[in-house]
Amino acid sequence: MGRSYEVEVLCTPQGEITCSRPSGIGPSIRTGPKTDSEDGTPMDHLAVGLGSCLLHFAQNFLERRQRSASTRIVVTCAVDQKRCEIEQIQADLTMDIPLSEEDRNLLIRFLKQCPIHKALDVWTPVELHIASEAD
């Protein structure tokens, strides 16, 4: 069996949600029913989870090639509020080094191994775009 992750999620009758790791590692994350919650909405947290996982995989890709770069990702989610469905997810990754077309294709294949990408992609295809500020 692989590595397991445990997160405790509590919800108050007022709709405030608190997520924390029972082991006490890392900060607690609070969110609420309002879209202007200072700690973000559940969709914000979904985007952060996907973005941070993709950045982790991008950094691993660069390390394997003995390269380093500043990377930035913007994750955009389109939600149909009426049907309560995610319609589209797009992740735009930008690096400050040049990438060949072959490297871009390899990087996209590598990013698709991200477990969060895999889980989301089953229901809503995640579009991945790679850009280089150095090109």
Instruction: Reply yes or no on whether the pLDDT at 35 is more than 90.
Output: no
- The backbone torsions φ and ψ at residue 10, rounded to the nearest 5 degrees and listed phi first, read -120, 140
pLDDT bin (cut points 50, 70, 90) of residue 83 is confident
Instruction: Reply yes or no on whether the pLDDT at 7 is more than 90.
Output: no
What is the secondary structure of the chain as a DSSP string? -------EEEE-TT--EEEE-TT--S--EEE-SSTT-TT--HHHHHHHHHHHHHHHHHHHHHHHTT----EEEEEEEEEETTTTEEEEEEEEEEESS---HHHHHHHHHHHTT-HHHHHHHTTS-EEEEEEETT-
pTM summary value: 0.77
pLDDT at 30: 61
**Higher model confidence: residue 74 or residue 37?**
74
User: To 5 degrees, how large is the angle CA 118–CA 50–CA 54?
Assistant: 80
Task: Give how far the C-alpha of residue 15 lies from the chain's centroid of Cα atoms, to the nearest Å.
Answer: 24
For 38-73, the pLDDT digits (tens) are 556 778 788 888 998 999 999 999 999 999 888 999
pLDDT at 26: 61
Identify the structural domains of the chain with CATH numbers, from first to last: 1-39 (no CATH), 42-132 (3.30.300.20)
